[in-house]
Structure 1
Amino acid sequence: MRYWLILSLLVIAPFSCAQVTDLTSLQEQLAKNTIVRGEFTQLRHIDLFEQPLSSTGQFTLSKQRGLLWQQTSPFPINLVLTEDKLRQTFADQQPQVMTAEDNPMAFYFSHVFLNVFHGNTEALVQQFSITFTALQDGWTIELTPIQAPLNSVFKVITLVGDEHIDRLTLQEIRGDRTEILFSNQTSQPEGLTDAEQAQFSF
């Protein structure tokens, strides 16, 4: 459960590489878009398996409402996260709703990562040692957790991108690794559709 929630939150808004030259300008860009949509491919590398576990789907991140994460393959999972509630639906099963009171640790992780993607500098420096590298064809950020419980789970979190985030890698302390590849990101339309609004109404 903890990894599913964490990975579901690691979605980032698109930004222009030409305007991103350091961590400050990157954080300013992260705070600009109120909505971002796109597709994802998630690869979970586990030492016990020769091939990674793969899943694909679509996401919608709304700064006002929360995150909609819709896995379509290898089986459908629908996740909706708001500030204080999480709803998960597996295939045709009944939705499961969790509140911050039910699982404070899960929502701690969610708020940390949302602060990362919204450009909250104070939260970043409190939770991570940050290395930003501007490249000729993009940029790389390495986030090394410096406090519990993050530093007991992750060794380093790496973001690589150009105009958009292209790849997110979570290296765990125990050796497993998760990669999330993002594609077709857009901030249009700027408002939630009726179908998206309905997902957040629970």
Structure 2
Amino acid sequence: MINRLTATVLLLLLFSPLLQAKSLQEIQALLASQSIVRGDFEQRRTMEMFSQPLTSSGHFIIHKESGLLWQQTAPFPVNLILTDEKLSQKIGNQPAQVMTEKENPMAFYFSHIFLSLFDGNAQQLDQQFTSEFSEKNNDWTLMLTPNKAPLNSVFSSISISGEQYVDQIELTELRGDKTTILFSKQTEQPENLTPDESALFQF
């Protein structure tokens, strides 16, 4: 569960239109201003034990008030829903597995850090990472190096890059495994959750 969470939740909560941001401060301000982002994803996980990367794809919604909806459609259906209080994972037609912070405090530790980043909380960033921001021809990159446990016991670096939106996130683990998440078709429309989407967060 920790691996799935880090690959699909950890940095997705940084999403927001960045409008050719020139500084980390501009990114944080824009992150705090957006209420919803929708889009598609393709995830590639490279592991030493496999000769080819493991790939998956699907759709996501990040809603500032409700949480994260991560709907994998290939190679098999997985629904992951994260709120402030609960995490639900449903694989195919199996019953959903629901956990709370008390049951898995480490998973919620990760998610709370990045929910704070989604709110533009610079203090959390400064406390957990050494950051390096660069910009060239309207493309920008934010490199994060964890400097505190438990993040620095899992990751060697986390790279976030894009232009108008976050387009790519790359998580490099200390053991050498790497996860790359590519995003496309990002939009803020419709501005509100549909009734069906709202119902998914009520679990």
For the aligned pair, the TM-score class normalised by the smaller chain equals over 0.9
- Partner SS for 1:64: coil
Q: Quote the RMSD (CA, aligned, Å).
A: 0.9
- Aligned partners of 2:111 and 2:152: how far apart in 1? 15
CA-CA distance at 1:96 after TM superposition: 0.6
Identify the residue that residue 82 of structure 2 maps to in structure 1: 81
Distance in 1 (CA, whole Å) between partners of 2:56 and 2:196 is 23
Runs of 4+ residues deviating >6 angstroms? none
Q: Match for residue 22 of structure 1?
A: 23
Aligned to 1:5: 5
> Normalised by the size of structure 2, how large is the TM-score?
0.96
Question: Which residue in the other structure is 1:50 paired with?
Answer: 51
Per-residue CA distance 1:132-175 (angstroms, 9 max, x = gap): 00111310000100000000000000001011111100000000
Q: Distance in 1 between matches of 2:111 and 2:173?
A: 17
| Of 146-155 and 134-143, the range deviating more from structure 2 | 134-143
Question: Please, which runs of 5 or more residues in structure 1 have no aligned partner?
Answer: none
Shifted more, 170-179 versus 111-120: the winner is 111-120
**Structure 1, 122-131 or 23-32: larger mean CA deviation:** 23-32
Look up the match of 1:59.
Answer: 60
Structure 1 counterpart of 2:96: 95
| 5+ residue gaps, structure 2 | none
**Aligned equivalent of 2:152:** 151
SS of aligned partner of 2:123: helix
- The equivalent of 1:130 in structure 2 is 131
Task: For residue 7 of structure 1, report the CA deviation from its aligned partner.
Answer: 2.0
Where does residue 120 of structure 2 map in the other structure?
119
Could you tell me how far apart the structure 1 residues matched to 2:6 and 2:36 are? 19
Three-state SS of the structure 2 residue aligned to 1:160 is strand
Count of matched residue positions in the alignment of Structure 1 and Structure 2: 200
SS at match of 1:47: coil
Residues 60-116 of structure 1 deviation map (CA, whole Å, 9 limit, x = unaligned): 001100000000000000011000101110100011110011111110011112222
Identity %: 50
Partner of 1:167: 168
Counterpart of 1:71?
Answer: 72
